[in-house]
Structure 1
């Protein structure tokens, strides 16, 4: 991850070994989680809807970010450069895809627009174009002559100006995405709360039931901005501390920085990917297996999503097409 790549200073060889192992382990979990979501999208035709397509690109970005974070090796210049450039590009793309999901939800639910699928080319231009621009800008500031001196860490900044560029090209869009997602989900939840109160006032049972169902689906959507905050809060604090005291590294803060940032892909795959639509699709495929095979599988309760759960975004989009 980008935060993982920027640490050296007074850390001992043993400290760096621990951080390297932590990054590899956490990134491997993220790689597995995001790869599972990618495979679900590719193999299960029921999931090939626009709402889940955005989740697919989010998982794909997380998968590649985690993969390149694992393979970085300063003893091999090419792989080190591959880690540095690729992790920065795909990590930025990851949290930018979360903004497209938030934007789609807001435009569909709050503004009642049915044209979100027409905006897909603009989403790709926005995400991949911005990620490329941020990566190129940061590469200009890096002192590549020092890349072999930092042990396990690739693509390190060697001056205040370079660290400022790092903030501008990574943490500025990151916290911009966090703020945008937070405001967007707040507006959606507020609108649904108002709809629920109006339904109660009008004694409209059908509208009230729909509003309650939407609010149930929003229970987890409202917490999505916390994924980015939890993944990168320690990294942000660590970068600020490094800017103020560049010669002094706090090991426990570095551990939290590396561990939480590397787990972003896993958090995203659980929150965005493992929704009722995915569980229902998997459950239906398992039902097709022979009884001799199913008896060895854990018992799975009948998916409530077939009757009760509402995938708010996908339903709203389909209803308005």
Structure 2
């Protein structure tokens, strides 16, 4: 939503319509994906563990970010402000929740701490508090005396000061989160790879068959920081270009900007939410249905069981 507001200016009516359609379609996919994770958490009691609770709040933030990005508000005045600020608030909260997941994994695996559940109140204060502060500061650069409508969206007319404030309150913490997640996952993966190699050396051939699946599981963790990079790289480039040349919009860059940013919720729901625990909970419910309603593609369930065994072997390797 914030991205769409920033790119629609100085474009033709056709180009604006195309970007609006892309935003609506991509945001709808993210809304469905994140909403599915939220629904699974609420329906399946076995998923209500601390680690998945963080994923739940991540999906919840993505869901509201996508929802407010879709609905728009044709009214002028405070409803327009509310729409713009709520999307900013929940999008910031989304990438901040990814840092709590990375922090929890690092504290558990690298530092061998078992007190992460006690830190939940601090996580909420950090995520929601920072999101509120960033959203309030963003209003400093907005000219609230002039509001314009672009389709169903409300747009505050901002000058160079507003663009700088927007960059500081959104893209600066975003890339800070990307840097933190990258360093954290690098340390976690490096430590577990060393533990896996040590265990393989001790067990020699008896353990070598388990090393390759372990490495695949570790490599998947390395993709998590790439989600934020892929979602917001083009948006960052577009903001910088707009600041340097405010009167010239690059349409193809705007398409990538809007489309990738709106898909962030879908990417997060797939990477963080659709894990073996969620699929196992779904399988158990589907076993209660008639045979005709629970047919799986050949090998689908076996791959899930293999992934689960990979994660179990990782824990075993680290304990050794």
Q: TM-score, normalised by structure 1?
A: 0.90
Does residue 1:3 correspond to 2:19, yes or no? Answer: no
Higher deviation after alignment, 12-21 or 147-156: 147-156
The runs of 5 or more residues in structure 1 that have no matched partner are none
2:243 aligns with: 243
Does residue 1:223 correspond to 2:239, yes or no? Answer: no
1:98 aligns with: 98
2:46 aligns with: 46
The answer to whether the Cα contact below 8 Å between 1:20 and 1:152 also exists between their aligned partners in 2 is no
Q: Give the distance between the partners of 2:226 and 2:17, measured in 1 at CA.
A: 29
1:195 aligns with: 195
Q: Give the distance between the partners of 1:311 and 1:122, measured in 2 at CA.
A: 32
Structure 1 207/57 Cα, relative in aligned 2: closer, same or farther at 3 Å? farther
Residue aligned with 1:148, SS: strand
Higher deviation after alignment, 54-63 or 285-294: 285-294
Deviation at 1:207, TM superposition (A): 7.7
2:159 aligns with: 159
Does residue 1:134 correspond to 2:144, yes or no? Answer: no
Deviation at 1:229, TM superposition (A): 0.5
Residue aligned with 2:9, SS: coil
- The one-character-per-residue Cα deviations of 1:130-178 (angstroms, maximum 9, x if unpaired) are 0000000001221123322555543445211111110110000000000
Q: Give the distance between the partners of 1:311 and 1:93, measured in 2 at CA.
A: 31
Q: TM-score, normalised by structure 2?
A: 0.90
2:86 aligns with: 86
Does residue 1:175 correspond to 2:197, yes or no? Answer: no
Higher deviation after alignment, 214-223 or 250-259: 214-223
Higher deviation after alignment, 147-156 or 265-274: 147-156
Structure 1 46/249 Cα, relative in aligned 2: closer, same or farther at 3 Å? same
Residue aligned with 1:111, SS: coil
5 Å matches for 1:201-220?
A: 201-203=201-203, 214-220=214-220
1:63 aligns with: 63
2:308 aligns with: 309
Q: Give the distance between the partners of 2:113 and 2:205, measured in 1 at CA.
A: 25
The answer to whether the Cα contact below 8 Å between 1:74 and 1:151 also exists between their aligned partners in 2 is yes
Higher deviation after alignment, 216-225 or 18-27: 216-225
Deviation at 1:108, TM superposition (A): 0.6
1:232 aligns with: 232
- The one-character-per-residue Cα deviations of 1:285-316 (angstroms, maximum 9, x if unpaired) are 10111335446x76674445557625859x96
Greater share of strand residues, 1 or 2?
A: 2
Q: Give the distance between the partners of 1:117 and 1:280, measured in 2 at CA.
A: 24
The answer to whether the Cα contact below 8 Å between 2:234 and 2:257 also exists between their aligned partners in 1 is yes
Q: Give the distance between the partners of 2:106 and 2:214, measured in 1 at CA.
A: 13
Higher deviation after alignment, 7-16 or 27-36: 7-16
Structure 1 214/108 Cα, relative in aligned 2: closer, same or farther at 3 Å? farther
Deviation at 1:79, TM superposition (A): 4.0
Residue aligned with 1:144, SS: strand
- The one-character-per-residue Cα deviations of 1:99-126 (angstroms, maximum 9, x if unpaired) are 0000011111111111111100000000
Q: Give the distance between the partners of 1:220 and 1:208, measured in 2 at CA.
A: 20
Q: Give the distance between the partners of 1:234 and 1:96, measured in 2 at CA.
A: 19
Structure 1 223/292 Cα, relative in aligned 2: closer, same or farther at 3 Å? closer
The runs of 5 or more residues in structure 2 that have no matched partner are none
The answer to whether the Cα contact below 8 Å between 2:65 and 2:91 also exists between their aligned partners in 1 is yes
* Matched residues, number: 316
Higher deviation after alignment, 191-200 or 277-286: 191-200
**How well do the aligned residues superpose, as a CA RMSD in angstroms?**
2.5
Structure 1 302/29 Cα, relative in aligned 2: closer, same or farther at 3 Å? closer
